[in-house]
């Protein structure tokens, strides 16, 4: 019976939350676009698309070959990274004015979201890791992409749907916070950063909804607009506070060893940067643009560090898996 290659064996060990790498790369692309670094943004987008396609193809193959195992994995919070990754890519494609592709990704995410969110939320319990906030992340991702397309296509119904999802995402965040194990802040392996990243994405979604309004659409009155602006600013400030707390915890208790869950550290960093840049424009707060650019380069540095860790880990795993075969081939006969 032929043995699987070491690389394929390493790939098979990926977790359901592998989509976090796509989210991280995609949101870095969005942030680079908002900051005006278009060439770098498109390079990051190409990497994110390649990873998304690879994971999507792998999911289909595994679903056909190991249906029961793959269906069971959809009950884990990490499964929601598929929805979030799809919406982040859709948002970036919309910024490129590739609206049909962005609409297709919105439709795909909208089809995946209900079944996954219901399945995952039913398994929530006390003292969960930061992945519990992925319910909020997936929901706010839909709100963000919906609002972005509403502005591009002048579709009022999409903006109003995005508004509903925005508030639902905040409700899911509050429920997730009650389930979150706060001890993860000091000892988590990386996904504890989603506690702050979910709020940053909420602020990003809120700013996109604010920006979607126009005299032609007239989505809501001044009171509703005021409430939306206040909540967008409030969740952004709370997201920044989480960022500060989590960063201090990282310095207080360094966790430098690579873990795949570190991708769930990178994308909250990227989301906070992108949120600062987007909120700066939507709410007319110029100084946030400078803060957003500083946070963006921190996120890029984190992305590079985690990518290096992933490559080193993959290389070590492949070398280790291939070693026994090499030993046999060089043994005396």
Query: Contact 143/166 with Cβ under 8 angstroms?
Result: yes
- Considering the domain boundaries, does residue 3 fall inside one? no
At 73 the pLDDT is 64
Give the list of residues 6+ apart from residue 131 with CB closer than 8 angstroms, or none.
17, 76, 77, 78, 191, 194, 264
Tokens coding 272: 């906070």
- Considering the domain boundaries, does residue 327 fall inside one? no
Alpha-helical regions (H) of the chain: 6-12, 19-35, 38-65, 67-73, 81-95, 99-122, 134-153, 156-179, 184-187, 194-212, 222-252, 263-282, 287-330
By residue range, what is the domain housing residue 157?
A: 14-312
Q: Per-residue pLDDT for 332 more than 50?
A: no
pLDDT in tens, 106-163: 999 999 999 999 999 988 899 999 999 999 999 999 999 999 999 999 888 999 999 9
Q: Which of 197, 93, 198, 195 is nearest to 152 (CA)?
A: 93
Q: Which of 114, 133, 204 is nearest to 175 (CA)?
A: 133
Domain count, the chain: 1
Q: How far apart are CA 67 and CA 13, in angstroms?
A: 16
pLDDT in tens, 12-34: 555 556 789 999 999 999 999 99
Q: Per-residue pLDDT for 226 more than 80?
A: yes
| 111, 171, 245, 251, 281 from 269: Cα distances, Å | 28, 22, 13, 15, 19
At 223 the pLDDT is 76
- Considering the domain boundaries, does residue 326 fall inside one? no
Q: Per-residue pLDDT for 311 more than 90?
A: no
DSSP assignment, residue 325? H
- Considering the domain boundaries, does residue 331 fall inside one? no
pTM of this prediction? 0.89
Average pLDDT in the chain: 87
Q: How far apart are CA 100 and CA 93, in angstroms?
A: 9
- Considering the domain boundaries, does residue 146 fall inside one? yes
Tokens coding 325: 């075969």
Cβ-defined contacts of 215-218 (< 8 Å, 24+) = 216/154, 217/150, 217/154, 217/156, 217/159
Beta pairing partners, 180: 128
pLDDT in tens, 157-209: 999 999 999 999 999 999 999 999 999 999 888 899 999 999 999 999 999 99
Specify the higher pLDDT residue, 48 or 4. Answer: 48
- Considering the domain boundaries, does residue 108 fall inside one? yes
- Considering the domain boundaries, does residue 4 fall inside one? no
At 1 the pLDDT is 42
Q: What is the CATH number of the domain that holds 143?
A: 1.50.10.150
- Considering the domain boundaries, does residue 330 fall inside one? no
SS3 of 117, please?
helix
At 315 the pLDDT is 81
């Amino acid at each position: 019976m032929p043995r699987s290659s070491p690389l394929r064996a390493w790939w098979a060990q990926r977790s359901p939350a592998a989509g976090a790498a796509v989210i991280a790369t995609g949101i870095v692309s969005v942030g680079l676009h908002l900051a005006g670094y278009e060439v770098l943004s498109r390079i990051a987008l190409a990497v994110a698309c390649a990873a998304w396609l690879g994971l999507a193809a792998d999911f289909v193959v595994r679903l056909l070959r190991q249906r029961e195992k793959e269906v069971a994995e959809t009950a884990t919070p990490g499964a929601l990274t598929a929805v979030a990754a799809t919406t982040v890519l859709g948002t970036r494609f919309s910024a490129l004015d590739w609206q049909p592709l962005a609409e297709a990704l919105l439709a795909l995410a909208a089809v995946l979201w209900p079944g996954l969110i219901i399945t995952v939320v039913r398994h929530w319990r006390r003292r969960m890791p930061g992945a519990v906030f992925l319910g909020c992340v997936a929901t706010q991702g839909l709100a963000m992409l919906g609002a972005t397309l509403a502005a591009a296509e002048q579709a009022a119904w999409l903006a109003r749907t995005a508004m509903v999802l925005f508030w639902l995402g905040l409700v899911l965040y509050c429920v997730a916070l009650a389930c979150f194990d706060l001890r993860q802040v000091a000892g988590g392996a990386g996904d504890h950063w989603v506690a702050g990243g979910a709020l940053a994405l909420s602020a990003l979604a809120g700013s996109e909804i604010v920006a979607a309004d126009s005299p032609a659409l007239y989505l809501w009155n001044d009171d509703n607009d005021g409430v939306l602006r206040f909540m967008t600013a409030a969740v952004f400030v709370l997201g920044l506070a989480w960022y500060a707390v989590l960063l201090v915890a990282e310095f207080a208790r360094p966790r430098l060893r690579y873990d795949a869950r570190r991708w769930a550290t990178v994308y909250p960093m990227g989301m906070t940067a992108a949120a600062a840049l987007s909120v700066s424009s939507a709410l007319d707060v110029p100084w946030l643009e400078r803060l957003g650019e500083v946070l963006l380069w921190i996120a890029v540095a984190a992305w590079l560090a985690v990518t290096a860790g992933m490559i080193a880990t993959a290389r070590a795993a492949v070398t280790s898996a291939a070693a026994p075969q090499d030993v046999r081939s060089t043994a005396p006969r």
